[in-house]
Amino acid sequence: MLARLKAPQWAGLSLIGGLVIFPYVIAMLTGQPVDSGVPKFWQGMLIQVFILAVFAMSYDILMGYTGILSFGHALFFGTGAYTIGILLKHAGWDLGSAFVAVIVIAIVQSLIVGLLSLRVSGVYFAMVTLAFAQMFFLLAEATDFRQWTGAEDGLQSIPVPAWISPTTERLRFYYLALGFAIAMYLVARQIVNSPTGRVMMAIRDNEVRAKVLGYNTLIFKLIAITVSGIMAALAGALNALWNLNANPAVLSVATTINALLMTIIGGVGSLIGPMLGAGVIQLLGYWLNVLFGPSWPLLFGIVYILIVLFLPYGIVGTWRLRGTSWLEQWRRRWQELTVRS
Amino acid sequence: MIEWIKYRRGLIIGIGAIILFAYWATTTYEPRVLASILLSGLTLGALYFLVTSGLSLIFGLMDVLNFAHGTLFMIGAYVGFTLYANPRLLLNTVPFVIAVVAGWLLAGWLPVKRIRTPGWLFWIGAVIVAMMAVWGFELAPLATTALSSGGRIPTEQAQAPTAIFVIRTLGLAVAGLIAGIAFLVGKEHAQQPLSAKLLVPLGMLTLALIIAPIRLSAEGWLLSLNSNTRFLLALLVGASSGAALGGLMEWSLIRPLYSRPIYQVLVTLGLVFVGTELVKAIWGPGGYFMELPEWFSRRGPGCPSPNLIAWLQDNCASIDVLGRPFPSYRVFIIALGLVMFIGTAILLQRTRLGMIIRAGVQDSEMVQALGINVRRVFTLVFALGAGLAALGGVAAAPFLGISPGLGQEFQLQAFIAVVIGGMGSFTGAALGALLVGLSRAFGDQIVLTGIQLPWMSEAMSFSPSIARASTVLIMALVLLLRPAGLFGKKE
């Protein structure tokens, strides 16, 4: 069976293998125990990457596979975080039923938002979803629900079950997050490669054609939004568990921009691209923060604009184009930019 | 008759809703409360209009949804405030900008065609020269202000000596020149003939250099001006800086991406991020409060002014409206919105440029085919829209205060107004802004006094965030009934 694997699959398997033994490798290199000090810090770093990777991948199902540009993706991420936080902290639910509730709420929410927003298309859709996300952001900040949401301070100290506490059981949480990312990737790949996924791509390429072929495009777009909404909500819920809190920032535009950034840097229209993008952004953000201190977001924004201008295919897209030489690609891009049409 | 009703369904429902709402409003509130709610709504509506109109025009003409429009609004507010309270920051930075632009323009007169060196070398050179020119330049101390009895004034921070300042200016002019060359290398481009046009960049350079020695006295002169004059100057400078930024944005970031529309939107979203962070880096994350100019700030005997005419003489901070005082500055905002509405409408309906813009909204390729340089009109309209937004920002500053979050708030409400009014329609933008403004004002009032439904023993009151969030519900309603907006073209 192993003999039949192709090169990308080998790369994927070895990446997963590398990530599985990563905590122990770091522990060996630094000579520190695996559940404290530097290894613990890097596990935390990667946990954040895994969570954001799922979030970015869910975004790409919308943007890269169905061709829907949403600027309200933080809505699902944030609602997932708040749902699990409120259920664990105030309602005293157990973890399993809380996750089920997260999924159910994500489905309802994405159906409502989808049905309303899909009445318009293109940039209108982006605008309308942004407005919805902002509405939830404002509601999360509203002082009226302070006893439930904690208003602008957010939900603090969510009671996470001891067996996956991110502070004491960091290694277990690491494998949990890794498993979560892999599982979500497999699910997403299954969906994208299914007939439903093909229709989504047909909609992306030419919606009218898909319609003429007899597909009810609205249904398929709703499916895409729901799938992506569930994934984002699960990622948000895990994020809340990891940070032990949920604050209004998870619902803000910055969160959506983050997903966009990871998707664009990694490569639109692939599943692995956004996941790689999440890793790049997280590590780059960390280094920029160390190097430039508080002014790093500014630099980050500039890097983002430069990438949109000069590297629109992202890491994976550029890799796929590797047949053409690097110089040729740059020359082409340069011409495209500088020729005054 | 039935056909007619069917055709006018939207209109009839709309009028019916307005009548019902007016009935509810007049029976619920006393006339004087109602009047101040309406006026507050108009104030907000005027501000929203300034943002929405540009947004809608830009989208109508070039299909670009500018997510950074609220950011331009915010930057306008900051620049206007800076001129009003701390001109030192502007006097120490504006010459640099002028110098770069002058250098860039000068490149047009050079025999660039003979240059065989690749362009990117020049870009790198320009960046290096520019970095050398601004090396060690400290912005933050210049932006620091202190609170005094007369409002915020610049603190006693040393500014760079004139000689160093002149060197920096010249260095940036050279950097601009090199960048200009880099831009022109390898392009089909005719060297400009020597003519009076050359005076423009040279004049700009001279201006930049003249500012250097007179910075201190200019600052003193500006601060000694009457606050009303300073306020008018702030409006002017804020709006024109917004227009310049908008034009620059279209030219440098939007124009290369007309073949990839999605990426245009992505870039403008990135600009939101960059703009907010830039403002935080220069002015700090905290907010500022802009003092009202004298026209709108007198208190004491005889105030509030009994009516608008009396206010012209006594300049009270508020005007009596049916027995309740209403801030006179808000009346000014309403007037400003009205003037801008009429001005823009005249520009669109009665001038040649307006004709081209309207034609471009219909079909920009056709306009291009008729021999009109549509791209130049694009830049112009972008600048115009950005200028309107920035003007709104300056006008909002004394009323709402200034903070880095100001832009996003207005962006959201402007988007909602645009969706309600319909994209690309000027009337729709104005009406949408008005509707959102009024509903915000009513929402704030309802939220303040609370809602008492028949079965409740006491009223439920909410925080203003709920009122802000509830405008999204109006948008959802309009989307359900009329996805293209009230005045939008059907898709």
Q: What would the mean pLDDT of B359-365 be, rounded to a whole number?
A: 84
Nearest chain B residue (CA) to A311: B263
User: Measured between CB atoms, which of B273, B415, B472 is closest to A257?
Assistant: B273
Cα separation of A236 and A76, whole Å?
8
What's the angle, vertex CA B485, arms to CA B482 and CA B489, rounded to 5? 100
User: Measured between CB atoms, which of A123, A138, A312 is closest to B260?
Assistant: A312
User: Measured between CB atoms, which of A138, A305, A312 is closest to B274?
Assistant: A305
| Torsion angles phi and psi, residue B67, rounded to 5 | -70, -15
Test B475 with A131 for CB contact under 8 angstroms: yes
Least confident of A328-332, B108-112, B384-388: A328-332
Q: Would an 8 Å CB–CB cutoff place A249 in contact with chain B?
A: no
Work out the percent of chain B whose per-residue pLDDT is above 70: 92
Cα separation of B282 and B396, whole Å?
20
Asked if the model's pLDDT at residue A321 lies above 80, the reply is no
What was the pLDDT predicted at B144? 66
Tell me: the pLDDT tens digits for A215-267? Answer: 999 999 999 999 999 999 999 999 999 999 888 888 888 888 888 888 888 88
Q: Would an 8 Å CB–CB cutoff place A196 in contact with chain B?
A: no
Test B462 with A253 for CB contact under 8 angstroms: no
Q: Would an 8 Å CB–CB cutoff place A126 in contact with chain B?
A: yes
Region of residue B3 (phi > 0: left; psi between -120 and 50: alpha; otherwise: beta): alpha
Test B281 with A295 for CB contact under 8 angstroms: yes
What was the pLDDT predicted at A340? 43
A270 is written with which tokens? 């692939």
Test A305 with B253 for CB contact under 8 angstroms: yes
CA distance B75 to chain A (A): 15
pLDDT band at B482 (very low <50, low <70, confident <90, very high): confident
B46, B236 in Cβ contact below 8 A?
A: no
B372, B355 in Cβ contact below 8 A?
A: no
Tell me: the pLDDT tens digits for B444-479? Answer: 888 777 766 667 666 677 777 777 777 888 887 887
B234, B80 in Cβ contact below 8 A?
A: yes
What was the pLDDT predicted at B27? 81
A200 is written with which tokens? 């989504």
What was the pLDDT predicted at B157? 56
Cα separation of B16 and B12, whole Å?
6
Asked if the model's pLDDT at residue B149 lies above 50, the reply is no
Nearest chain A residue (CA) to B59: A123
Q: Would an 8 Å CB–CB cutoff place A179 in contact with chain B?
A: no
CATH class (in words) of the domain with range A17-296:
mainly alpha
Highest mean pLDDT of the ranges A19-23, B169-173, B375-379, B391-395: B391-395
User: Measured between CB atoms, which of B266, B463, B480 is closest to A308?
Assistant: B266
Locus of tokens 């949408």:
B432
Nearest alpha-carbon partner for B450 in A135, A144, A140, A146:
A144
Cα separation of B232 and A325, whole Å?
57
What is the DSSP secondary structure assignment for residue B110, as one 8-state letter? S
Q: Find chain A residues with C-beta within 8 A of B278's C-beta.
A: 298
Q: Would an 8 Å CB–CB cutoff place A58 in contact with chain B?
A: no
A:300-339 residues touching chain B, CB 8 A cutoff: 300-302, 304-305, 308-309, 312, 336-338
CA distance A332 to chain B (A): 13
Q: Which residues of B211-241 are buried (b: 16+ CB within 10 A; e: fewer)?
A: bbeebeebbeebbeeebeebbebbbebbbbb
Identify the residue among B66, B122, B262 best suited for mutation to test binding to A, counting A beta carbons within 10 A and taking the highest.
Answer: B262
Identify the residue among B259, B364, B479, B481 best suited for mutation to test binding to A, counting A beta carbons within 10 A and taking the highest.
Answer: B479
Angle of helix A326-338 relative to helix A296-310, nearest 10 degrees, comes to 90
Test A308 with B267 for CB contact under 8 angstroms: yes
Least confident of A73-87, A286-300, B54-68, B366-380: A286-300
Test B416 with A131 for CB contact under 8 angstroms: yes
Q: Would an 8 Å CB–CB cutoff place A148 in contact with chain B?
A: no
A111, A226 in Cβ contact below 8 A?
A: yes
Q: Find chain A residues with C-beta within 8 A of B463's C-beta.
A: 142-144
Tell me: the pLDDT tens digits for B303-335? Answer: 777 777 777 777 777 888 777 888 888 888 999
| Torsion angles phi and psi, residue B455, rounded to 5 | -90, 0
Highest mean pLDDT of the ranges A190-204, A311-325, B280-294: A190-204
Asked if the model's pLDDT at residue A38 lies above 90, the reply is no
CA distance A25 to chain B (A): 37
Work out the percent of chain A whose per-residue pLDDT is above 90: 37
Cα separation of B77 and B112, whole Å?
40
User: Measured between CB atoms, which of B281, B462, B472 is closest to A144?
Assistant: B462
Q: What would the mean pLDDT of A47-63 be, rounded to a whole number?
A: 93
Locus of tokens 């403002």:
B279
Q: Find chain B residues with C-beta within 8 A of A302's C-beta.
A: 274
Helix (H) or strand (E) holding B115, with range, is none
Test A71 with B269 for CB contact under 8 angstroms: yes
pLDDT band at A341 (very low <50, low <70, confident <90, very high): very low
B242 is written with which tokens? 């917004």
User: Measured between CB atoms, which of A116, A119, A139 is closest to B469?
Assistant: A139
Test B266 with A119 for CB contact under 8 angstroms: no
Q: What would the mean pLDDT of A143-172 be, rounded to a whole number?
A: 83
Q: What would the mean pLDDT of B194-210 be, rounded to a whole number?
A: 85
Asked if the model's pLDDT at residue A47 lies above 90, the reply is yes
Q: Find chain B residues with C-beta within 8 A of A149's C-beta.
A: none
Test B67 with A124 for CB contact under 8 angstroms: no
Residue boundaries of the structural domains of chain B: 10-451+459-481
Nearest chain A residue (CA) to B254: A309
What was the pLDDT predicted at A186? 93
Tell me: the pLDDT tens digits for B387-420? Answer: 999 999 999 988 888 888 888 888 888 888 888 8
CA distance A111 to chain B (A): 14
Q: Would an 8 Å CB–CB cutoff place A341 in contact with chain B?
A: yes
Collapsing DSSP states into helix, strand and coil, what is residue B286? coil
A324 is written with which tokens? 């053409």
CA distance B39 to chain A (A): 25
pLDDT band at B490 (very low <50, low <70, confident <90, very high): low
User: Measured between CB atoms, which of A253, A305, A340 is closest to B267?
Assistant: A305
B141 Cβ contact partners less than 8 Å away, ≥ 6 residues apart: B155, B157, B158
User: Measured between CB atoms, which of B257, B270, B484 is closest to A304?
Assistant: B270
Work out the percent of chain B whose per-residue pLDDT is above 90: 15
User: Measured between CB atoms, which of A135, A297, A341 is closest to B277?
Assistant: A297
What was the pLDDT predicted at A36? 77
- Of B26 and B336, which is predicted with more confidence? B336
Tell me: the pLDDT tens digits for B23-78? Answer: 888 887 888 888 888 888 999 999 999 999 988 888 888 888 888 899 999 999 99
Q: Where are the alpha helices (DSSP H) in B144-287?
A: 162-184, 199-211, 215-224, 227-249, 261-283
Interface contacts (A, B; CB < 8 Å): 124
Residue boundaries of the structural domains of chain A: 17-296
Tell me: the pLDDT tens digits for B259-317? Answer: 777 788 888 888 888 898 888 888 878 788 888 888 887 777 777 777 777 777 777 77
Q: Would an 8 Å CB–CB cutoff place A218 in contact with chain B?
A: no
What was the pLDDT predicted at A336? 58
| Residue-averaged pLDDT of chain B | 82
